[in-house]
Each structure stands twice: as C-alpha cells, then as structure tokens.
Structure 1
C-alpha cells in the first residue's frame, strides 16, 4: 500500500521580533537597487567658448556683408547713371591712366580737366539741393575739394564777383559732410576768417573777399551758382 505524501505550503516572512523566533537564513532574496539615472552634465567650457566664438564670427560676417552690399549698391547706381548719360563730344588727352588698357583721359565738352576729375561751372542760380540734383543728372556731384592745388585750380577760373556752391553741407550739430562721402578733413579746409559763423547756415559756397578766395556758410535755400565735379572718362 503506497504511502500518502502531503505537501504543505510554507511561507517565510522576514520579520524581526523581540523573541528572535525567525533566523536571518529565512529571509527572501535581496534585490539589487536600481542605480539612479544620472542627469545630463553641463556643456564643457570648451564647447561654450566655441559656440560664443562662432556667434561672434557670424555677427561680424553679417555686418561686413551689409556694409559691402551697401557699397556695391551705391557703385552700381553710379554706373547706371553714367551708362544712361551720352556725351556728344569729349575732349581727350593721352596720359597715364590708372585703369589698365586705357590710354586716353577725357572730359565732356565745356568741362575743365584737373588731376583725375572734370569740372563744370554752372552760371544758373539755384538752391544747394537744386544745384546738387542738376550735377547728379549729368553723372556728377557738387565739387569736393581735396587739396590746396585743387582749390587754387578752380578759383582761377571762377568769377570773383559771384558765389559758387560746393559739395559741403551740415546735416546738424556742425558735422560737415561731403556729398561723395569723402571724410571731412579739417586740415584741408579753406574757410574765410571767422567762418563758419552760424548754426542756421548749413551749406557752403566758395567766394572772393578782400583776403582772397575762401569758404563761407550760408542758408541752403539761397540761390547761387555752383561747380559740378565728375571723374574723368578713360578710353
């Protein structure tokens, strides 16, 4: 006769008490604790420095791009103006040209040559703004004086009884500016003694006084003669 085997379900509980009834050997298997997820570290100092350098380079590149784009646009506009102007007669001379493969330097008829520019004396009286617009319509601008030699050249062919606008004006706060953006050089100015003398006189004429030829500031609305200037045409 087969003997009966009875299985009993036995549960062990890891429970400590004062009597110490259960031994430590009956405890459940220990589970290894899951290590906490590490937080992403901060960018390294080298990476931060590289990003800052890249940003500065990008800003510098953008500023340079805007500057040269404006210069290019201005040059393109000047070329378009000159291209649309046809001179029926040029007076040319063979001399050393700053442009490769060009041997003739020319000025339109009735314009006076000096150095690398041509000059036209306008005997029509107009305001400073009207005078500049008239010069611009011919591919030129009001005269910009670069040196004593240029000042002497133009005054020798002007009428000492008349006044002539040049391309110097004051947009405000006595910040004198040339129309072609040439920097205003105080060491190459030819003001009459005591001039300029009024904040309300913001345009400049060249005229003759007892002391000789010089500059005088006057209101821009006063109608005067003028001198136009353009670069020589090279062929």
Structure 2
C-alpha cells in the first residue's frame, strides 16, 4: 500500500513537471539591432550618396570641359583668320544691316565686293588643285556661281583672252559638285553650247566666246587663271 502510493505520486509529479514546462516556456527573444549593424547600414547609404554625387560632379565637369574646348577652338579659328588677314588692308563700306553691332562690310584690298562676298581674280596660272590651294591660303575658295548677276559682275574684271577656274568639279559619273558643298542646281548653270563635252574633263572654267562668258569643262591639270571667293568681313 505504501509503495503504490509512492508510485502514483511520482507519476503525477513527472506529468505536472512536463506540462508545466511547456506551459510556462518563454517566447524566443527578438533579435535586436546592434550599434555595429546600424553603423554599417549608415556607411552603405553614405557610400551610395557619395558615389552618385561624384558621378554627377564628373558629368558636369566633362560638359564644362567640352564647352570650354569648343570656345577655345573657335577662338583659335578667329585668330587664324585674323592672322591671314594681317597681310593686307581692308576696304570697308558702311551698311544698313540687321546685325546691330556690325556697321561696316569689308573686303581685303584689291578684292571685288558683290552681295555678301568678296572676289579676287588671280594673275598666275595653275592647275585646278593648285588654284584651290592658293585660294585656301588666303582664307577663301574657288568661286561659286549661283546667279547670272553674280557671273556678270565678276566677268567685268576678267581678262577676255583668258579662262578662269571656278569651284565646280566632277569627282566621277558627271556628278558636279561645288567646292563649298552647296547643292548643284541644274536650273542655274551657265554652260556654253555643247558643254560639258568630255567625261575626261572634270574641272570647270569660265571663259569668253562670241555669245559671252560661260562654262566649259576642262582637264584639271591644265594651267588656268582662277577666281577666289570669300565671305565679307563685318565690323
């Protein structure tokens, strides 16, 4: 009797202990953010912000550098033009222009002014490429003709016993091109009758005939005079 009672109490105690442990078992503690983790997160945000700021600063600096380089290039070009013009005097006329700060239109001395350009007939004879190089050395190019009035103006100053290269040539397949890249307009050409006459004559001269001054094709290696053209200088 005594031993049985002890057995029952022992089982009851074991049962109580087991269920009681499950009932009062505390929940798992939540993980708290440590100061070290907060500092690490702040460092990442700071690094990202600094990277974005650095990229923005680099972009702005690049844009400023490109703009400065363009302005410097333009300044060099202007200085080069002025240097080319230092060899001669300018002849200027007062104008009424929409350009508020530009009062005078000028051409180098001995150049002929017409509309917005200046023209210079050369004295020496040379090939087409040599003639273009000579014009280029003066800040000009071979003459480009777009109207009868323009041609009539310049031919008044030309030798009627000579021919003059103009800035029109054929790189191939009779595709005529102006030296300043302006479009070739077939409705505004002044070819002599039966000209152009040969696929092997790829440069153009203006020359006199009984009918007056007009164009004909010529071998580019022929020695001819030429007419240089440049834009007027506005002061």
CA RMSD of aligned residues (A): 2.3
Say if 2:125 is the partner of 1:125.
yes
Deviations 1:89-147 (A, max 9, x none): 11100012353310100111100100100000101000000000000000000000021
Question: Which secondary structure state, in structure 2, belongs to the residue aligned with residue 82 of structure 1?
Answer: helix
Partner SS for 2:125:
strand
- In the alignment, is residue 140 of structure 1 matched against residue 140 of structure 2? yes
Match of 1:84 in 2: 83
Instruction: Indicate the SS of the match to 1:149.
Output: helix
CA–CA distance in structure 1, aligned partners of residues 112 and 139 of structure 2 = 15
What residue is the counterpart of 1:221 in the other structure? 221
Name 1:187's counterpart in structure 2.
187
Question: Match for residue 101 of structure 1?
Answer: 101
Instruction: Return 5+ residue gaps in structure 1 as ranges.
Output: 3-71
How far does residue 87 in structure 1 lie from its aligned partner after superposition?
A: 4.2
Between the two proteins, the alignment pairs up a number of residues equal to 168
Residues 142/80 of structure 1: CA separation in 2 closer, same or farther (3 Å cut) = farther
More helix by share: 2
SS of the residue corresponding to residue 113 of structure 1 reads strand
The DSSP-based 3-state class of the residue aligned with 2:207 is strand
What is aligned with 1:153?
A: 153
1:115 aligns with 115
TM-score, length basis structure 2: 0.66
Q: Distance in 2 between matches of 1:98 and 1:221?
A: 44
For residues 140 and 229 of structure 1, the distance between their equivalents in structure 2, rounded to whole angstroms, comes to 5
**Structure 2 unaligned residues grouped into runs of 5+:** 5-69
The structural deviation recorded for 1:187 is 0.9
